[in-house]
Amino acid sequence: MSAVGISQSPKPQASRLVALLVLAAIAALVAATPFLPNYHIRVVNSLLIYILLGIGLNIVIGYTGLLDLGFVAFYAVGAYTYALLASPQLDLHLPFLLIVGIAAVLGMITGILLGIPVLKLRGDYLAIVTLGFGEIIRIVVNNVDWLTGGPKGIARLDKASVLGVEIARPVEIYWLLLVTVFLVGLFVWRLERSILGKAWAAIREDQDAARGIGINTTNAKLAAFATSATIGAIAGTIFAASQRFVSPESFTLQESVLIVLMIVIGGIGNILGIVAGAAILILLPEMLREFAEWRILFLGILMVVLIIVRPAGIVPRSFGPEKLIRGLFGK
Amino acid sequence: MLGTLIQQTVNALTIGSIYALIALGYTMVYGVLRMINFAHGEMFMLGAYAAFLALTLFVGEIGAIGALGLTIAFFGAVVAVGFFGVGIERLAYKPLRNSTRLAPMLSSLGVSLTLVTGIQILAGPQPVAFPSFFPTTRYDFMGGTVTSVQIGILIAAFVLMFALYTLVNRSRMGIIVRAVSESRPTAQLLGINVNLAISAVFFAGPLLGAAGGILYASYYGIMSPSMGAVIGLKAFTAAILGGIGSIPGAMLGAYILAFVEVGGTALLPLITNGVLGTEYRDVLSFVILILVLLVKPAGILGEPVSEESMVYKREF
């Protein structure tokens, strides 16, 4: 899809220049972040977590064309897995990487269990079921005080450490997140171009035709949902490890909607679009703190307008990672 | 014991009537457009705010709220929200009628976000006390207490639902809406004005939802910008339970959901010995939703349609 877009592009030189500029800007930001004050690094970290969440949710929304409004539930599953397995709460102190693995599996299982009744029957109900599920997880976490600490949450989580290196300061979290985002992004990008990714695109474009050419649409949808849930859970563990505190407040419906907004505004189905969307949604409020309410109003209107006027979002779909790579190495 | 039973039955009927009014909007919109309208819960919220605005205006003019003032405020508010619904459909959903199924849902999500934040900015994010639309009197009835507010809600909801049912089944407009709901392409081929039918649905749905919002707010005496979210989810569950697209189904589903919820909330702490308390009330309706999807996805009164036949092809 994107490859065709490039070869047909009227001005290959100009688009190559844009690709190089974008690459240079990203490289400069990545390199400069560690030298920023801690507060700014924290903002960048939250940006990276949202990019990770966006990449995960985009599999369901952008690639497969289903709406998931309870994505934050999987995020919560990951965060609480870390909080329970690496804190004085249950007096368990497992290593970070092991917990990431456990959380990923738990996220996948939750995704499959939730996906089976919905995706098997009526895919269009997914939005409402996930919306309900997100609220349920929050209510349960809020009320099972003996396990999750209820509204107070769980504090004093262990510092994460990877291969003996402690990861606690914002800069260290930054590197951890950067590597994770890169690996997950690469994995998902490859997945999109795999046969499974093409099945997802087929389902998105025309479900009947997809079924007609022999795609098991239920299984393909389940795979998308489970992969997305897994990524959500991984993002949750890193979030918990970086905050070293979790509470139900971080997992509200508004958070789910924010991630959907991010994808729609940046560009549905495009990893670079998610980076742009996350940057707009996370950095904008940092700059315009006094207009907090107006910002959400503006974003809501922007969402409606973009879907009608420019459904692909602000970053065109042809402007994917391929373009950046080609821009770097020539044709 | 009998008193408690009667009390709980009246409670369930009251809340069920409100669910039914909202569920009707979901089911009708799904019937003609096959879309889940996430902004519908906000019509419920807008209804309460519009009525509040109308009431404060009348208080300012007349000094006291008479029966006439109340009636005008109620109908003025619901009709206003009805027209608002038509306007939103024109602006935010109509341009997307031939795009993917995801697009109108995302658009309605944007509308919902805009409306909630808009009201938050205009009226403040905190809950506001809502004046009761009916003078509150308590009646003792065989050991149970029934308030005049509950009776008023029941009467208002029954009248509205009966009016809708008659309109859909007896009027020409009703035939048009039902035809479009059956099959939009066929209705279009037969020369039916599809836009008119869709506008009618987007007038009636928000109107009933707004009425539900006013009744809900006067029942609990409070309204807030975010009141539409959870109620919307429950009303949607009711619509699925009854069979989405079916108007009697939405009403039936709403009452069943309300009875399960009221009964379940009363019994849950007893059955589980206090482990699961009343705070799990919202969980209950979600469990019902999952069970319906597993056991009978078409709902009680819905026709068993496969997912494929619900998909509209894009026009090329």
B53-83: pLDDT as tens digits: 888 876 655 555 667 778 888 899 999 999 9
Residue B311 pLDDT class (50, 70, 90 cuts): very low
Residue B5 pLDDT class (50, 70, 90 cuts): confident
Q: What is the mean pLDDT of chain B?
A: 84
pLDDT value for B159 = 93
Average the pLDDT over each of B187-201, B203-217, B266-280 and give the range with the smallest value: B266-280
Task: Report pLDDT digits (tens) over B293-305.
Answer: 778 777 888 766 5
Q: Do the beta carbons of residue A41 and residue A33 sit within 8 Å?
A: yes
A91–B contact, CB cutoff 8 A: no
CB contact under 8 A, B113 and A143: no
pLDDT value for A6 = 42
Q: Residue A305, Cα to own-chain centre: how many angstroms? A: 23
Cα-atom radius of gyration of chain B, to the nearest Å? Answer: 20
Query: If you average pLDDT over residues B201-225, what whole number do you get?
Result: 93
* ipTM > 0.90 (yes/no): no
Alpha carbon dihedral A155, A161, A162, A167, in 10-degree steps, equals 90
Task: Report pLDDT digits (tens) over A148-177.
Answer: 887 888 888 877 777 777 777 888 889 899
Dihedral (CA of B15, B21, B25, B31) sign:
positive
pLDDT value for A5 = 40
B230–A contact, CB cutoff 8 A: yes
Q: How far apart are CA B178 and CA A120, in angstroms?
A: 28
Task: Report pLDDT digits (tens) over A45-84.
Answer: 989 999 999 999 999 998 988 888 889 999 999 999 999 9
Percent of chain B with pLDDT over 90: 36
Residue A64 DSSP SS3: coil
pLDDT exceeds cutoff 60 at B112:
yes
Residues of B with Cβ-Cβ distance to A125 under 8 angstroms: 36, 240, 293
Compute the C-alpha angle B307/A198/B107, nearest 5°.
55
Q: How far apart are CA B39 and CA A224, in angstroms?
A: 27
Task: Report pLDDT digits (tens) over A17-31.
Answer: 777 888 888 888 888
Q: Do the beta carbons of residue B232 and residue B41 sit within 8 Å?
A: yes
Model pTM?
Answer: 0.85
First to last CA, chain B: 65
Task: Report pLDDT digits (tens) over A184-238.
Answer: 999 999 998 899 999 999 988 888 888 889 988 889 999 999 999 999 999 999 9
**pLDDT higher at B245 or B249:** B249
Q: Do the beta carbons of residue A140 and residue B283 sit within 8 Å?
A: yes
Average the pLDDT over each of A316-320, B22-26, B121-125, B196-200 and give the range with the smallest value: A316-320
Residues of B with Cβ-Cβ distance to A209 under 8 angstroms: none
CB contact under 8 A, A311 and B240: no
Query: If you average pLDDT over residues A278-282, what whole number do you get?
Result: 85
Dihedral (CA of B55, B58, B59, B60) sign:
positive
pLDDT value for B65 = 60
Give the ranges where chain A is alpha helix by DSSP (H). Answer: 2-7, 12-32, 38-58, 72-85, 96-121, 126-143, 145-148, 170-193, 195-205, 207-212, 217-243, 253-266, 271-287, 292-309, 321-329
CA distance B279 to chain A (A): 8
Please report, as a single letter, which amino acid is at residue A242.
Answer: S
User: A with B: how many residue pairs have Cβ under 8 Å apart?
Assistant: 124
pLDDT value for B310 = 44
Q: Helices A170-193 and A195-205, interaxial angle, to 10°?
A: 80
Task: Report pLDDT digits (tens) over B164-179.
Answer: 999 988 999 999 998 8
Mutate to test the interface with B, among A64, A255, A308, A309 (most CBs of B within 10 A): A308
Give the ranges where chain B is alpha helix by DSSP (H). Answer: 2-33, 40-62, 67-88, 102-123, 148-170, 172-182, 184-189, 194-220, 228-242, 247-271, 281-295
Residues of B with Cβ-Cβ distance to A135 under 8 angstroms: 230, 233, 282, 286
pLDDT value for B309 = 42
Q: Do the beta carbons of residue B121 and residue B106 sit within 8 Å?
A: no
pLDDT value for A123 = 64
B123–A contact, CB cutoff 8 A: no
Residue A8 pLDDT class (50, 70, 90 cuts): very low
Give CA separation, A223 vs A6, A199, A200, A220, B75, in Å: 30, 11, 9, 5, 49
pLDDT exceeds cutoff 60 at B51:
yes
Residue B46 pLDDT class (50, 70, 90 cuts): very high
Cα-atom radius of gyration of chain A, to the nearest Å? Answer: 20
A125–B contact, CB cutoff 8 A: yes
Query: If you average pLDDT over residues B210-220, what whole number do you get?
Result: 92
pLDDT value for B137 = 79
Residue B308 pLDDT class (50, 70, 90 cuts): very low
**pLDDT higher at A268 or A9:** A268
Q: Do the beta carbons of residue A115 and residue A108 sit within 8 Å?
A: no
